[in-house]
């Protein structure tokens, strides 16, 4: 990892980090990455740009969420058939939710409750009170539910079903299925715009992002990605992160080893950030090259930086959001699935 | 709880699975037919004895998956299975299904039967899904416009293995093949793949031993003497490639060659459309669903049948119709894609009805070693078309009339 990092700009890591950030907000706080292969969570100190602690978890940690105060981390342990609620200071397990094959879970905000869980093997979304660890309701879905998003305000929940290729909408109050929107194959992720008007859904095999009207559930647009010199089959969009001002979306392109930067109102790809290139050419960047197979990403609270979890190179890329450059690469555990920066 | 999805007629047992549905009024339903060949064979490895529900259980899990989707789209799918045995005429079974108005029929019967079924089916506007037969002639000189091949062809399988062996820099092959007609076809496919990808067959030998029973007392000692003799005095080679479609000798090759060499093909490193150890690309979920349903591991034939059912279900979702004509038009169209747990999505080659798909390379069913196409093998349109007969080489001519 070190060799590749230094190869990017030909500078040692410390210099690289220092050189990249002089006029910008200091990078501070902590980030967490779930490593699905070695059953750990890497705790990253962003000021030092390194993994400072590795927490052992149950089997196959993948999706996770954080409470709004950053004090609790809820991690899906797919092969242990439970979700553990961890204290992010002591790393003690505060409680567990026993639920089969959880892949991803999202908290309803505001309020840190309830927790929406994609039970991938059971074609179910289950809803849990995280304080009592009791199930409130379960909602049948298509085959292999995965991506999940809660609308701002928390009235609508959207789930993506990988094998059924649908974005499925559920009402918060009744748990009723209110709409099913067919999208290109293998939808992995959904994200609401912060004004609540649109839902963006990535299709890993379709190679697209579908923009859906969150009120009428009509498809407004389909965004395609083209990277010169790369076969379209390697462009497999997964994670979507939209800035709070709804201007930019960052889409992780999996085996393309890039993050696409999309203008949200225009629904056009602006550039592609690379995360794993040996030669970093700032002049021709259209997509950000990151490490290998980025699936999910997380912003720092000030949205000055975006971190990507690169599943095949076992590292986390740090992207300078303003300058659209990868400024550092931080080694984590094996097969990082998701990364989030602590909100506080 | 509506509808039994699997109904066996004829000689077999009835097995029913309830489709989960929340619809109160009757849901529009499409019944898919399955002419199932109930048979097994003696295999060298006892644990790989083909189960009697081979293929059929894959189709049944596919129906459940279709209905998990369909319950949200007001579409319901049923499977009507007719069991046939080796010496029975499958046309009788097909006519039973046609009489019920069924127009999409899966079969795992051998190549000659697929051809027969296709020709009986054509005037009725019935499409046959070939889940079992690998013979390339079915896709080429004997191609039929009303057949979709979910089974990969011999050429696809041998190209998949060839790409890996070339990537590995093992270009010198000892080809060992059996005496049955399908062994000769498979051996010819290996010779073709070697030529295309730049391998050299430095020894090309037929194993004339007969299919015997499984190990008898002291049989191991005999094999230990026979197989080194069969493979001795060969020019220097990198890998022994075995074409043994009938499980006569291939399984005995590993560790018994005269020279210390790896074995591939029908034993050792095996090209296949599925392996129960394949967990990548969401495969874990497929394996778990299958084992929970069938109480055994999922075979390649199960996958090919699952693919057929899911192709129909997926095309029905996107075409928003249960009409066979609309389903087939969408399936053959440019937008059709099916995710099938092998990375790149599956689609139909419009020149011969073959489903393009990645091929797994299995370590005799223990682990997945690799998946082809291999890096570096490029194609103008899709890397999946580096496997098998490509459009410029095809001998298949589907007329508009044939496409029906």
8 Å CB contact of A164 and B72: yes
Q: Which fold has domain B2-152+278-357?
A: Rossmann fold (3.40.50)
Phi, psi for residue B79 in degrees, rounded to 5: -120, 130
DSSP state of B175: E
User: What average pLDDT does the segment B257-284 reach?
Assistant: 96
Judge whether B68 is closer than 8 Å to chain A, CB to CB. Answer: yes
B400 has a pLDDT exceeding 60: no
Could you tell me if A142 and A123 are in contact, meaning their C-beta atoms sit under 8 angstroms apart? yes
Angle at A188 between CA A183 and CA A191, to 5 degrees: 85
- Which residue in the set A123, A164, A233 is minimally distant from B383, CB to CB? A233
CB atoms within 10 A of CB A277: 18
The position carrying tokens 């060839």 is B162
Q: Which A-chain residues 47-86 have CB contacts (< 8 A) with chain B? A: none
Judge whether A180 is closer than 8 Å to chain B, CB to CB. Answer: yes
Q: What is the pLDDT of residue B42?
A: 86
* Local confidence band at B5 (pLDDT 50, 70, 90 cut-offs): very low
Q: Nearest residue of A to residue B345 by CA position?
A: A205
Q: What is the pLDDT of residue A165?
A: 94
A214 has a pLDDT exceeding 50: yes
Instruction: List the structure tokens of B150.
Output: 């979910």
Work out the minimum CA distance from A187 to partner chain B, whole angstroms: 10
Could you tell me if B331 and B148 are in contact, meaning their C-beta atoms sit under 8 angstroms apart? yes
Judge whether B4 is closer than 8 Å to chain A, CB to CB. Answer: no
8 Å CB contact of B72 and A101: no
Pairing between β-strand B29-37 and β-strand B104-107 as defined by DSSP bridges: parallel
Q: Which A-chain residues 85-104 have CB contacts (< 8 A) with chain B? A: 101
- Which residue in the set A164, A182, A186 is minimally distant from B68, CB to CB? A164
User: Residues A143-202: pLDDT tens digits?
Assistant: 999 999 999 999 999 999 999 899 999 999 888 999 999 999 999 999 999 999 999 999
| Least reliable range by pLDDT among A82-96, B215-229, B256-270, B335-349 | B215-229
d(CA B215, CA B24): 57
Residue B157, SS3 per DSSP: helix
A62 has a pLDDT exceeding 90: yes
| CATH 3.90.950.10, domain B155-272, yes or no | no
Under 8 Å CB-to-CB from B87, ≥6 apart: which residues?
A: none
Q: What is the pLDDT of residue A331?
A: 96
Q: What is the pLDDT of residue A16?
A: 44
List, as own/partner pairs, every contact residues B108-114 make where C-beta atoms lie below 8 angstroms and the sequence separation is at least 24, other chains included.
B108/B35, B108/B36, B108/B37, B108/B54, B108/B55, B108/B132, B108/B301, B108/B304, B108/B305, B109/B35, B109/B37, B109/B84, B109/B133, B110/B37, B111/B135, B111/B137, B111/B138, B113/B37, B114/B138, B114/B147
d(CA A247, CA A270): 11
Q: What is the pLDDT of residue A22?
A: 46
8 Å CB contact of B69 and A142: yes
Work out the minimum CA distance from A94 to partner chain B, whole angstroms: 29
| Cβ burial B101-132 (10 Å sphere, 16+ → b, else e) | ebbbbbbbbbbebbbbbbebbbebebbbbbbb
Q: What's the pTM?
A: 0.86
Phi, psi for residue B308 in degrees, rounded to 5: -60, -45
Q: What is the pLDDT of residue A272?
A: 84
| Mean pLDDT value across chain B | 91
d(CA B40, CA B43): 9
Q: What is the pLDDT of residue B1?
A: 30
CB-CB neighbors (< 8 A) of A182 in chain B: 73, 317-318
The position carrying tokens 């210099």 is A15
d(CA B348, CA B334): 9
* Local confidence band at B15 (pLDDT 50, 70, 90 cut-offs): very low
Which one, of A142, A120, A147, lies nearest residue A251 by Cα? A147
User: Residues A133-154: pLDDT tens digits?
Assistant: 999 999 999 999 999 999 999 9
User: Residues A298-339: pLDDT tens digits?
Assistant: 999 999 999 999 999 999 999 999 988 899 999 999 999 999
Work out the minimum CA distance from A98 to partner chain B, whole angstroms: 18
Residue ranges of the alpha helices (H) in chain A?
2-9, 13-20
B172 has a pLDDT exceeding 60: yes
User: Residues A231-252: pLDDT tens digits?
Assistant: 788 899 999 999 999 999 999 9
User: What average pLDDT does the segment B294-306 reach?
Assistant: 98
Q: Nearest residue of A to residue B20 by CA position?
A: A140
Judge whether A270 is closer than 8 Å to chain B, CB to CB. Answer: no
**What count of CB pairs under 8 Å joins A to B?**
65
Instruction: List the structure tokens of A312.
Output: 């095949």
Work out the minimum CA distance from A185 to partner chain B, whole angstroms: 6
- Per domain, the residue ranges of chain B are 2-152+278-357, 155-272
d(CA B261, CA A62): 41
d(CA A199, CA A217): 9
Could you tell me if A274 and A257 are in contact, meaning their C-beta atoms sit under 8 angstroms apart? yes
User: Residues B192-213: pLDDT tens digits?
Assistant: 999 999 999 999 999 987 655 5
What are the distances in angstroms from CA B116 to CA B91, B92, B377, B400?
7, 11, 36, 20
Residue A213, SS3 per DSSP: strand
Q: What is the pLDDT of residue A273?
A: 79
Percent of chain A with pLDDT over 70: 89
Q: What is the pLDDT of residue A277?
A: 42
8 Å CB contact of B337 and A182: no
* Local confidence band at B217 (pLDDT 50, 70, 90 cut-offs): low
Pairing between β-strand B347-348 and β-strand A102-107 as defined by DSSP bridges: unpaired
Chain B interface test: which of A164, A170, A202 (most B C-beta within 10 Å)? A164
Pairing between β-strand A102-107 and β-strand B200-206 as defined by DSSP bridges: unpaired
User: What are the strands, taking DSSP E only, across B261-325?
Assistant: 263-265, 269-272
8 Å CB contact of A163 and B382: no
Domains of chain A: 2-341 (2.130.10.10)
Residue A196, SS3 per DSSP: coil
CB-CB neighbors (< 8 A) of A234 in chain B: none
Instruction: List the structure tokens of A292.
Output: 């290998």
What are the distances in angstroms from CA A165 to CA A126, A161, A271?
19, 6, 27
CB-CB neighbors (< 8 A) of B285 in chain A: 101, 120-121, 144, 163
User: Residues A95-137: pLDDT tens digits?
Assistant: 999 999 999 999 999 899 999 999 998 899 999 999 999 999 9
Note whether B2-152+278-357 and B155-272 share their fold: yes
Could you tell me if A145 and A159 are in contact, meaning their C-beta atoms sit under 8 angstroms apart? yes
CB-CB neighbors (< 8 A) of B317 in chain A: 164-165, 182
């Amino acid at each position: 990892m070190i060799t590749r990092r230094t190869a990017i700009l030909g500078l040692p890591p410390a210099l690289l980090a220092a050189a990249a950030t002089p006029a910008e907000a200091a990078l501070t706080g902590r980030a967490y990455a779930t490593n699905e292969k070695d059953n750990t969570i890497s705790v990253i100190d962003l000021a030092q740009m390194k993994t400072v602690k590795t927490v052992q978890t149950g089997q196959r940690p993948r999706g996770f969420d954080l409470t709004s105060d950053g004090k609790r981390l809820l991690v899906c342990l797919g092969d242990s058939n439970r979700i553990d609620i961890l204290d992010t200071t002591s790393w003690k397990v505060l409680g567990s939710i026993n639920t089969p094959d959880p892949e991803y879970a999202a908290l309803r905000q505001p309020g840190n409750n309830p927790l929406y869980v994609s039970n991938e093997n059971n074609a179910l979304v289950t809803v849990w009170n995280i304080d009592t660890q009791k199930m409130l309701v379960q909602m049948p879905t298509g085959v292999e539910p995965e991506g999940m998003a809660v609308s701002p305000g928390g009235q609508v929940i959207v789930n993506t079903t990988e094998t059924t290729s649908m974005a499925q909408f559920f009402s918060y109050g009744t748990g009723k299925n209110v709409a099913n929107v067919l999208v290109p194959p293998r939808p992995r992720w959904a994200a609401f715009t912060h004004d609540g008007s649109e839902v963006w859904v990535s299709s890993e095999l379709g190679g697209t992002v579908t923009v859906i009207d969150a009120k009428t559930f009509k498809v407004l647009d389909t965004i395609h990605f083209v990277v010169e010199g790369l076969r379209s089959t390697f462009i497999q969009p997964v994670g979507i992160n939209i800035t709070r001002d709804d201007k930019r979306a960052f889409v992780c392109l999996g085996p393309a080893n890039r993050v696409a930067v999309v203008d949200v109102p225009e629904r056009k790809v602006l550039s592609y950030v690379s995360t794993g290139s040996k030669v970093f050419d700032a002049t021709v960047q259209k997509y950000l090259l990151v490490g290998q197979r980025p699936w999910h990403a997380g912003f720092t609270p000030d949205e000055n930086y975006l971190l990507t979890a690169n599943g095949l190179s076992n590292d986390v890329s740090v992207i300078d959001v303003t300058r659209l450059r990868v400024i550092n690469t931080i080694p984590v555990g094996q097969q990082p699935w998701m990364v989030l920066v602590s909100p506080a | 709880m509506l509808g039994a999805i699997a109904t066996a007629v004829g000689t077999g047992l009835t097995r029913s699975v309830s489709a989960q549905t929340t619809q109160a009024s009757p849901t529009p339903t499409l019944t898919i037919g399955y002419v199932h060949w109930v048979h097994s064979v003696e295999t060298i490895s006892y644990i790989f004895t083909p189960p009697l529900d081979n293929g059929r259980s894959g189709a049944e899990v596919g129906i459940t998956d279709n209905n998990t989707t369909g319950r949200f789209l007001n579409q319901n799918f049923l499977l009507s299975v007719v069991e046939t045995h080796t010496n029975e005429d499958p046309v009788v079974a097909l006519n039973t299904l046609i009489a019920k108005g069924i127009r999409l029929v899966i079969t795992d019967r051998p190549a000659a039967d697929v051809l027969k079924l296709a020709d009986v089916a054509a005037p009725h506007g019935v499409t046959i899904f070939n889940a079992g037969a690998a013979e390339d002639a079915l896709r080429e000189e004997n191609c039929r416009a009303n057949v979709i091949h979910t089974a990969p062809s011999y050429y696809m399988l041998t190209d998949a293995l060839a790409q890996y062996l070339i990537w590995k820099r093992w270009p010198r092959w000892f080809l060992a093949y059996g005496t049955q007609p399908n062994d000769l076809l498979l051996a010819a496919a290996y010779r073709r793949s070697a030529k295309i990808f730049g391998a050299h067959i430095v020894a090309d030998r037929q194993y004339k031993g007969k299919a015997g029973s499984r190990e008898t007392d002291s049989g191991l000692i005999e094999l230990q003497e026979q197989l080194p003799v069969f493979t001795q005095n060969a020019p220097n080679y990198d890998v022994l490639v075995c074409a043994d479609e009938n499980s006569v000798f291939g399984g005995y090759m590993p560790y018994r060659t005269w020279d210390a060499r790896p074995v591939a093909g029908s034993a050792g490193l095996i090209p296949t459309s599925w392996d129960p150890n394949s967990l990548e690309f969401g495969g874990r979920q497929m394996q778990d669903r299958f084992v929970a349903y069938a109480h055994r591991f999922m075979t390649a034939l199960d996958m090919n049948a699952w693919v057929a059912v899911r192709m129909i279900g997926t095309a029905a979702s996107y075409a928003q119709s249960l009409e066979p004509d609309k389903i087939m038009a969408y399936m053959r169209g440019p937008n059709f894609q099916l995710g099938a747990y092998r990375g790149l999505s599956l689609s139909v080659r419009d020149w011969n009805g073959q489903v393009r798909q990645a091929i797994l390379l299995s370590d005799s069913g223990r682990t997945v070693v690799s998946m082809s196409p291999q890096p570096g093998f490029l194609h103008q349109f899709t890397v999946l078309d580096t496997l098998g007969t490509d459009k410029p080489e095809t001998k298949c001519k589907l007329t508009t009339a044939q496409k029906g």
